[in-house]
């Protein structure tokens, strides 16, 4: 038992939290498991934790029982708020709940460094937030690490190596500014209701400085464009970026006939710098 609050099944039925598909609600019910996920974020004492999508609060309770100084929980579904307030009562002054869409909210003002982000989110929201966390203009960002649950296939894309099938935008952005590792696998049965796919937790520790210089916006755009048509030669997939793309590719040390999956992070950063120079 990690705390004296009621089991999650009771919380869900007491607050009538029928899972909603549209919000990607697959809840974790085993508090030993949520505490284990919380531990993947490292030592939480002395840290503020941003949790996106707490739902009925399984992971929130894991984070607090593992010693987080403070948790800021951002949940879109208003039905979950009363359940989360019970957790707040059990940990006075340590849990702040915001009922909002995480894609619309600037959270940095509510947090004090050091800050860790921990979340179990629906796939599309998780990927969008991950890209935003990795591509602010100024680096280092407000957070020290991200510990995020994804469907396994997405987790593999984040930690993929060049040349592999999973290599693409997510691997490049993650590798550019962080050390990313897959730290835990979870079967569908860990969730209620069980999703169709396996899940995995990825831990990203931010680097103090990006591995190679590049403008975040330009890099993100060029990589997304190149992998959008990953089978095509770069001179053709990147034509929409500049009419001089062949010359730019050559100046960046990349053969225009090469395909995106064969280009290293260093190569893409060189290309982003050349594109910025030619703007």
Backbone angles phi, psi at 157, to 5 degrees: -70, -30
Within its chain, how far is the Cα of 89 from the centroid? 29
Chain residue whose CB lies nearest ligand SAM: 53
- For residue 269, state whether it binds ligand SAM (rule: CB under 6 A): no
Quote helix, strand, coil % in the chain, to nearest 5. 40, 20, 40
Q: Is 76 among the residues that bind ligand SAM (CB under 6 A)?
A: yes
Tokens of 225: 């464009």
Stretch that binds ligand SAM, among 17-25, 106-114, 238-246, 269-277 (CB under 6 A): 17-25
Query: By CB under 6 A, how many residues form the interface with ligand SAM?
Result: 24
Q: Which of residues 99-118 bind ligand SAM (CB under 6 A)?
A: 101-103
Nearest residue (CB) to ligand SAM, 22 versus 138: 22
| Rounded least distance, CB 140 to ligand SAM, Å | 24
Select from 77, 215, 258, 266 the one that contacts ligand SAM (CB under 6 A): 77
- Closer residue to ligand SAM (CB): 100 or 209: 100
- Our measurement of the distance from residue 237's CA atom to the centroid of its chain's CA atoms, rounded to an integer in Å, reads 27
| Binding residue (CB under 6 A) for ligand SAM from 12, 38, 49, 55 | 55
Residue 17 contacts ligand SAM per CB under 6 A = no
Q: Please state, in angstroms and rounded to a whole number, the distance separating the CA atoms of residues 74 and 51.
A: 6
In whole angstroms, how close is the CB of 83 to ligand SAM at the nearest point?
10
CB of 125 to ligand SAM, least distance (A): 5
Length of the chain: 279
By three-state DSSP, how is residue 79 classified? helix
Check residue 23 for interaction with ligand SAM (CB under 6 A): yes
218: alpha, beta or left, given left = phi > 0 and alpha = psi -120 to 50?
Answer: alpha
Residues 6+ apart with CB under 8 A from 135: 173, 216, 217, 219, 220
DSSP code at position 211:
S
Cis ω on the peptide bond leading into residue 193 (within 30° of 0)? Answer: yes
Among 52, 146, 155, 275, binds ligand SAM (CB under 6 A): 52
Sign of the CA dihedral with 121 first, then 123, 124, and 126 last: positive
Which CB, 8 or 219, lies closer to ligand SAM?
8
From the list 50, 84, 122, 176, which residue makes contact with ligand SAM (rule: CB under 6 A)? 122
Q: Which residues bind ligand SAM (CB under 6 A)?
A: 23-28, 52-55, 58-59, 74-77, 80, 101-103, 120-122, 125
């Amino acid at each position: 038992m990690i705390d004296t609050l009621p089991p999650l099944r009771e919380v869900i039925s007491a607050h009538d939290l029928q899972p909603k598909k549209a919000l990607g609600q697959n809840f974790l019910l085993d508090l030993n498991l949520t505490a284990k996920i919380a531990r993947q974020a490292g030592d939480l004492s002395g840290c503020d934790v941003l949790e996106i999508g707490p739902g009925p609060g399984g992971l929130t309770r894991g984070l607090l029982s593992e010693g987080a100084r403070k948790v800021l929980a951002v949940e879109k579904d208003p039905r979950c708020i009363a359940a989360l307030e019970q957790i707040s009562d059990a940990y006075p002054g340590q849990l702040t709940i915001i009922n909002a869409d995480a894609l619309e909210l600037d959270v940095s003002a509510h947090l004090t460094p050091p800050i860790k982000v921990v979340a179990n989110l629906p796939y599309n929201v998780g990927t969008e937030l991950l890209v935003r966390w990795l591509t602010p203009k100024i680096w280092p960002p407000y957070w020290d690490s991200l510990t995020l649950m994804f469907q396994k296939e997405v987790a593999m894309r984040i930690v993929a190596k060049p040349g592999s099938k999973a290599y693409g935008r997510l691997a490049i952005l993650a590798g550019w500014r962080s050390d990313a590792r897959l730290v835990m696998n979870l079967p569908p049965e860990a969730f209620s209701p069980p999703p169709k796919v396996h899940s995995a937790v990825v831990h990203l520790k931010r680097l103090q400085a990006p591995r190679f210089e590049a403008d975040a916006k330009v890099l993100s755009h060029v990589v997304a464009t190149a992998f959008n048509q990953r089978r095509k030669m770069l001179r053709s997939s990147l034509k929409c970026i500049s009419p001089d793309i062949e010359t730019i590719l050559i100046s960046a040390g990349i053969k225009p006939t090469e395909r995106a999956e064969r280009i290293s992070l260093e190569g893409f950063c060189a290309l982003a710098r050349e594109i910025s120079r030619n703007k």
